[in-house]
């Protein structure tokens, strides 16, 4: 299964080891954060959990592999094509499967997304087969040493692109009219309709943006993990855990939840046993659901004294 | 200007409007009064296109609008400040107002929209003071002003106000109703006003309709309604004394 890079020198102190785990946790966490943001955007627009989110991640990474390894396109171009291609898949999913059933209840639509994820996985297997593909790193593969831990140049790409994606998304929401209309629709659909906002378009754009984010998450970690048609199940569930951990519906929560999950997972796998890696996410999921179903996000509001509404 | 002809509408099996007819002349303030569940909000939402009519027609200057989408209707110049304010709580006051101008983003220039923003902020100065604050943190009265201001940003010729004084202190209620009157008197906006407080509504309106379980049961000039014993008994809270004496 997927495992982030670990480069151990024979003699690491415990602090160095922990730093190493935190660094690899940050890398996976960045990707979880982007996946979780994708869940959040669709959830806010439609109140459904899109269980095909993990498929967007996989399709993004497989398209990237094909563009770089088969067509030998330059990285930036391949990146754009892989993101756009996945966004197109998300577009088609919304139009063909979600839109026609828009008057059904959320549970029906969630089941539709589960069905869609199975179909998409089947199509991926048909196109790419059952092999796991390795991908070139964006730039060098020579590990860099910091404070006794090592980090791959690819990790910096992961951090940089994640930050860029989050900043772009914020700019889109805060500065453009379309972005504001999307936020407004998430907050209050009836009022958004009264403002003349075409809610159906907003929902479509939510899927497209979410597809693009998922693809980005897949592409940036593809060089560190292998890209495989069925990796989406686990990645999607991890992203979902991150959402619940951060507080479903909060984009800040999604990012924090993703990063936290990545770090806890890496620490748990490193300090306890790596065979528990995937179990950790689910233990966290269950714990949060039992103890604090609203996640971490409301904490921030409580601290900032913005409890109204 | 606006004519509603035998309109029926409902929610699934619930029939909320059972053939409602009413009209509004240009420059009038018309009030709709009626008990809870009479269908007042449903009527406004049918005009706005949120609820589909199943029979009858709605004409704006003789042009049918009941088949249009909410977006098209608001572009025709009918905007609504809905029941319960419905501001975009997590967005700033300024963004709420900007979104009010969404329907005319293509047809108006930035300068025109900026000018209208200034105008609305003049009408409700508190909105200017609070422009960066998120709308959910405003007081009830301030949120109501924001909701009205937001609906004005669409530059409506007809403004639909659904219970704009719900749950507000008497002094704020008076201020809001004064502003409503001013909008009509100074800017010629035609107004349809739903009010629980029938006395207040009748004091600023020209004509009124009484709705009872999905039908218009009474209509007339406010002077007539104020004198009507049925209205007095049911909506103005007078008359019990006379009965018991
Ligand atoms: N979304 C809805 N789904 C189902 N029934 C509804 C819905 N909205 C309103 N109704 C029903 O339609 C009828 C008319 O409701 P409406 O909200 O129009 O009344 P109203 O006159 O505005 O009442 P109020 O003074 O309490 O606001 C009521 O019986 C109500 O229960
Ligand atoms: Mg009502």
Nearest chain B residue to A181 by CA: give it.
Answer: B99
Nearest to B215 by CA among B57, B42, B19, B2: B19
- Give B80 to chain A, closest Cα distance, Å: 7
pLDDT of residue A307: 38
Nearest chain A residue to B103 by CA: give it.
Answer: A196
Nearest chain B residue to A197 by CA: give it.
Answer: B71
Q: pLDDT per residue over A175-215, tens digit each?
A: 999 999 999 999 999 999 999 999 889 999 999 999 999 99
Q: Determine which of B86, B130, B160, B161 to mutate to test the interface with A (most A C-beta atoms within 10 Å).
A: B86
Asked if pLDDT for residue A4 goes beyond 70, the answer is: no
Q: Determine which of A180, A195, A301 to mutate to test the interface with B (most B C-beta atoms within 10 Å).
A: A195
| CB contact residues (below 8 A), chain B span 37-66, against chain A | 48, 50
Q: pLDDT per residue over B195-224, tens digit each?
A: 988 888 999 999 999 999 999 999 999 999
Domain topology for A14-306: ABC transporter involved in vitamin B12 uptake, BtuC (1.10.3470)
pLDDT of residue A12: 77
Contact B151 A194 (CB under 8 A): yes
* Mean pLDDT for all residues in chain B: 92
Contact B50 A194 (CB under 8 A): yes
Ligand 1 first shell, C-beta below 6 A: B 11, 14, 16, 34, 36-42, 83
Nearest chain B residue to A188 by CA: give it.
Answer: B88
- Please report, rounded to a whole number, the percentage of residues in chain B having pLDDT higher than 90: 83
Q: What are the C-alpha distances in Å from A117 to residues A295, B61, B136?
A: 26, 51, 37
**How far is the C-alpha of A174 from the C-alpha of A275, rounded, in Å?**
42
Contact A190 B50 (CB under 8 A): yes
Nearest chain B residue to A191 by CA: give it.
Answer: B86
**How far is the C-alpha of A154 from the C-alpha of A171, rounded, in Å?**
25
At residue B9, φ and ψ (nearest 5 deg) are -160, 160
Chain A residues whose C-beta is within 8 A of a chain B C-beta are 177, 180-181, 183-184, 187-188, 190-198, 306, 308-309
* Cβ atoms < 10 Å from Cβ of A239: 32
Burial class (CB in 10 A: 0-12, 13-18, 19+), A191: buried
Question: How many residue pairs from chains A and B have C-beta atoms closer than 8 A?
Answer: 74
Q: Mean pLDDT check: name the lowest of A47-56, A273-282, B52-61, B207-216.
A: A273-282
Asked if pLDDT for residue B238 goes beyond 80, the answer is: no
Asked if pLDDT for residue A167 goes beyond 50, the answer is: yes
Nearest to B201 by CA among B240, B162, B241: B162
> Of all protein residues, whose CA lies closest to atom 3 belonging to ligand 1?
B11
pLDDT band at A300 (very low <50, low <70, confident <90, very high): low
Q: pLDDT per residue over A216-225, tens digit each?
A: 999 999 999 8
Segments in chain B forming alpha helices (H):
40-48, 70-75, 93-100, 110-123, 125-129, 140-152, 170-187, 198-204, 222-227, 229-235, 240-244
Nearest to A23 by CA among A159, A164, A135: A159
- Please report, rounded to a whole number, the percentage of residues in chain A having pLDDT higher than 90: 67
Average pLDDT over residues B117-145: 94
Residue B81, SS3 per DSSP = strand
SS3 content of chain A, % helix, strand, coil (to 5): 75, 5, 25
Q: pLDDT per residue over A21-68, tens digit each?
A: 999 999 999 999 999 999 999 998 888 899 999 999 999 999 999 999
pLDDT of residue A305: 44
Reported ipTM: the value is 0.90
In B, which residues are within 8 Å of A184 by CB distance? 88, 91, 95, 99
Measured in Å, residue A142 CA sits from the centre of ligand 2 at 67
Asked if pLDDT for residue A170 goes beyond 70, the answer is: yes
Which tokens sit at B119? 């105008």
> Of all protein residues, whose CA lies closest to atom 16 belonging to ligand 1?
B39
Contact A180 B98 (CB under 8 A): yes
Q: Which of A194, A308, A309 is the closest to B48 by Cβ? A: A194
- Give A181 to chain B, closest Cα distance, Å: 7
In A, which residues are within 8 Å of B89 by CB distance? 187-188, 308-309
Burial class (CB in 10 A: 0-12, 13-18, 19+), B62: exposed
Asked if pLDDT for residue B240 goes beyond 60, the answer is: no
pLDDT of residue A309: 34
Residues 6+ apart with CB under 8 A from A115: A97
Residue B1, SS3 per DSSP = coil
| CB contact residues (below 8 A), chain B span 63-122, against chain A | 69-71, 74-75, 79-80, 82, 86-91, 95, 98-100, 102-103, 105
Asked if pLDDT for residue A301 goes beyond 60, the answer is: no
Q: Determine which of B79, B102, B148 to mutate to test the interface with A (most A C-beta atoms within 10 Å).
A: B102
Average pLDDT over residues B87-108: 93
Q: Position of tokens 């709709």? A: B32
Residue B191, SS3 per DSSP = strand
pLDDT of residue A296: 77
pLDDT band at A295 (very low <50, low <70, confident <90, very high): confident
A290, A291, A294, A300 alpha-carbon torsion, rounded to 10° = -160
């Amino acid at each position: 299964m997927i495992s982030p890079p670990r480069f151990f020198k024979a003699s690491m102190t415990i602090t160095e080891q922990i730093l190493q785990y935190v660094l690899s946790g940050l890398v996976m966490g960045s990707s979880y954060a982007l996946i979780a943001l994708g869940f959040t955007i669709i959830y806010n627009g439609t109140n459904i959990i899109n269980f095909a989110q993990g498929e967007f991640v996989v399709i993004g990474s497989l398209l990237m592999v094909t563009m770089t390894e088969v067509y030998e396109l330059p990285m930036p171009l391949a990146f754009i094509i892989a993101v756009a291609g996945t966004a197109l898949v998300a577009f088609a999913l919304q139009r063909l499967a979600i839109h026609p059933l828009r008057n059904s209840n959320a549970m029906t639509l969630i089941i539709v997304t589960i069905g869609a994820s199975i179909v998409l996985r089947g199509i991926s297997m048909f196109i790419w087969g059952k092999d796991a593909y390795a991908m070139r790193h964006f730039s060098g593969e020579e590990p860099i040493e910091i404070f006794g831990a090592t980090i791959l140049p690819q990790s910096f790409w992961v951090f940089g692109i994640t930050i860029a994606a989050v900043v772009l998304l914020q700019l889109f929401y805060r500065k453009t009219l379309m972005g504001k209309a999307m936020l407004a629709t998430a907050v209050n659909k009836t009022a958004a309709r009264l403002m003349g906002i075409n809610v159906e378009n907003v929902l479509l754009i939510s899927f497209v943006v979410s597809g693009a984010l998922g693809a980005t998450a897949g592409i940036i970690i593809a060089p560190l993990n292998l890209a495989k048609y069925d990796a989406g199940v686990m990645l999607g569930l991890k992203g979902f855990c991150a959402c619940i951990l951060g507080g479903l519906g909060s984009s800040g929560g999604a990012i924090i939840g993703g990063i936290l999950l990545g770090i806890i997972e890496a620490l748990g796998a490193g300090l306890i046993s790596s065979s528990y890696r995937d179990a950790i996410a689910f233990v966290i999921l269950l714990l949060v659901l039992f103890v604090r179903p609203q996640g971490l996000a409301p904490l921030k509001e409580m601290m900032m004294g913005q409890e109204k509404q | 200007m606006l004519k509603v002809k035998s309109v029926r509408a409902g929610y699934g099996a619930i029939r909320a409007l059972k053939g409602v007819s009413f009209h509004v002349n240009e420059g009038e303030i018309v009030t709709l009064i009626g008990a809870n569940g009479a269908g007042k909000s449903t009527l406004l939402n049918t005009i706005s296109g949120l609820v589909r009519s199943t029979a009858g027609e709605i004409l704006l200057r003789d042009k049918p609008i009941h088949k249009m989408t909410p977006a098209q209707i608001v572009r025709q110049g009918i905007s609504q400040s809905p029941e319960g304010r419905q501001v975009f709580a997590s967005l700033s006051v300024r963004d709420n107002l900007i979104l009010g101008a969404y329907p005319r983003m293509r047809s108006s220039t930035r300068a025109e929209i900026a000018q209208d923003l200034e105008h609305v902020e003049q009408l409700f100065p508190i909105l200017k003071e609070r422009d960066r604050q998120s709308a959910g943190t405003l007081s009830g009265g301030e949120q109501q002003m924001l909701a009205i201001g937001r609906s004005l940003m669409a530059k409506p010729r007809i403004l639909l106000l659904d219970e704009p004084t719900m749950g507000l202190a008497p002094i704020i209620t008076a201020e809001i109703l004064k502003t409503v009157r001013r909008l009509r008197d100074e800017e010629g906006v035609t107004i349809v006003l739903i009010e629980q407080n029938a006395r207040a509504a009748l004091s600023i309106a020209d004509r009124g309709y009484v709705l009872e379980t999905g039908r218009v049961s009474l209509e007339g000039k406010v002077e007539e309604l104020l004198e009507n014993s049925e209205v007095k008994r049911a909506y103005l809270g007078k008359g019990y004394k006379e009965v018991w004496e």
